[in-house]
Amino acid sequence: MTTKESFKINGENLLKKVKELIAEGNVTKISIADKTGRELASFPLTFGVVGILIMPVLAAVGAIAALIGECTITVEREEVKKEEDKV
C-alpha cells in the first residue's frame, strides 16, 4: 500500500528536500508541480537507487529549481508493515 504526502517549498530548497526524501529510502515516486498545480516532473524511484543512478534525477531537479519560485512536491511512499500486522 502506498501513501501520498505533499510539501510546499520554494525553488532554492527544492534540491535539498528531494535529496532528503531519497535518503529516507521508502519513497517510490516524487512529483514536482508549479504553484498552479501543473506537474513539471515526475520521478519513479526504486529501492536501492544510489550513487550514479540518482545523478540524472538530481540534475533535473536542480534545473527545475533554477526556473521556478514556489512549487509542491508530492511524495508516494511504500508503507512498511509492522511485525504485528503480518500475523
Domains and CATH numbers, the chain: 2-79 (3.30.950.10)
pLDDT lower than 50: segments of the chain: none
Task: Give the pLDDT of residue 82.
Answer: 61
Query: In the numeric block, which cell numbers belong to residue 28?
Result: 517510490
Q: H helices of 1-87, where?
A: 11-24, 55-67, 83-86
C-alpha to C-alpha distance for 14 and 11, rounded to whole angstroms:
5
pLDDT in tens, 57-73: 788 888 888 888 889 99
Our CA dihedral for 44, 72, 20, 81, rounded to 10 degrees, sits at -60
Task: Give the pLDDT of residue 4.
Answer: 93
